[in-house]
């Protein structure tokens, strides 16, 4: 990576700084924004700070439902297990301190196993939604794989997802 200063016609002949190098260069991607704006923070840190600030707006006594759709976005952007753990701890502190409930939507089997396992271990309840496509038929199966302090059901439940979500109790799903 190299940088040089020159007059820039696009900015009214003012002096501008130009960075030269391939866009795929990791050094350029990591350092250019800090070079131009030393107070800038990484995107993952910025998202964490924004989420922390938003969570602090949750008021105790309200009937709060916090939905983070989708948390996979956070995992991909932050990509640091300790920072994800800190964010999960903050979510826990806010929800337990305000008597709220929080839903995190995550794409299964798309992240590092250690991160997915950490999230599952910190969660009180874990739902898996399996979608089975057979020809023109689509079957949605809901599996409750974890309920803290209880034994999770061993049967999968068939779910109809239309304008509302309903459980199909007419037949057992094998």
Closest CA to 101 of 48, 62, 56, 150: 62
Same domain, 67 and 78: yes
Same domain, 52 and 92: yes
Same domain, 35 and 48: no
What is the band of 19 on the pLDDT scale with cuts at 50, 70, 90?
Answer: low
> What predicted TM-score, i.e. pTM, was given to this entire model?
0.62
The partner residues of 69 in beta bridges, in order of sequence, read 105
**What is the pLDDT, as a whole number, of residue 5?**
58
| Model confidence at 142: pLDDT above 80 | yes
Same domain, 87 and 160: no
pLDDT tens track for 97-135: 888 888 888 888 888 999 999 988 888 888 888 888 889
Mean pLDDT confidence for 128-149: 87
Same domain, 153 and 80: no
22-26, 54-58, 68-72, 163-167: which range is least confident on average?
22-26
**What is the pLDDT, as a whole number, of residue 113?**
92
Mean pLDDT confidence for 53-65: 77
Mean pLDDT for all residues in the chain: 78
Backbone angles phi and psi of 64, in degrees to 5: -95, 135
Same domain, 28 and 2: yes
Same domain, 24 and 53: no
| Model confidence at 23: pLDDT above 80 | no
Distance separating alpha carbons of residues 145 and 154, to the nearest angstrom: 8
**What's the structural domain count of the chain?**
3
Same domain, 107 and 137: no
Whole domain around residue 105: which residue ranges? 42-123
**What is the pLDDT, as a whole number, of residue 18?**
63
Same domain, 77 and 53: yes
Distance separating alpha carbons of residues 36 and 141, to the nearest angstrom: 50
Token pair listed for 78? 């932050």
Same domain, 134 and 167: yes
Same domain, 47 and 116: yes
Same domain, 87 and 130: no
What is the band of 3 on the pLDDT scale with cuts at 50, 70, 90?
Answer: low
What is the band of 36 on the pLDDT scale with cuts at 50, 70, 90?
Answer: low
Helix axis angle, 81-97 to 43-55, nearest 10°: 10
């Amino acid at each position: 990576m190299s940088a040089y200063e020159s007059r820039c016609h696009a900015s009214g002949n003012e002096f501008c700084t130009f960075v030269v190098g391939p866009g795929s260069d990791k050094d350029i991607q990591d350092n250019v924004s800090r070079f131009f704006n030393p107070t800038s923070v990484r995107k993952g840190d910025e998202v964490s700070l924004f989420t922390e600030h938003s969570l602090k707006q949750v008021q105790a006594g309200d009937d709060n439902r916090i939905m983070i759709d989708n948390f996979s976005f956070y995992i991909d952007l932050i990509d640091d297990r300790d920072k994800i753990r800190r964010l999960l701890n903050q979510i826990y502190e806010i929800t337990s301190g305000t008597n709220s409930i929080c839903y995190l939507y995550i794409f299964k089997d798309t992240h590092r196993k250690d991160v997915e396992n950490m999230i599952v271990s910190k969660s009180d309840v874990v739902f898996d939604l399996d979608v089975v496509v057979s020809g023109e038929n689509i079957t949605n199966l809901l599996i409750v794989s974890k309920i803290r302090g209880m034994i999770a059901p061993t049967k999968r439940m068939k779910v109809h997802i239309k304008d509302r979500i309903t459980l199909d109790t007419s037949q057992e799903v094998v």
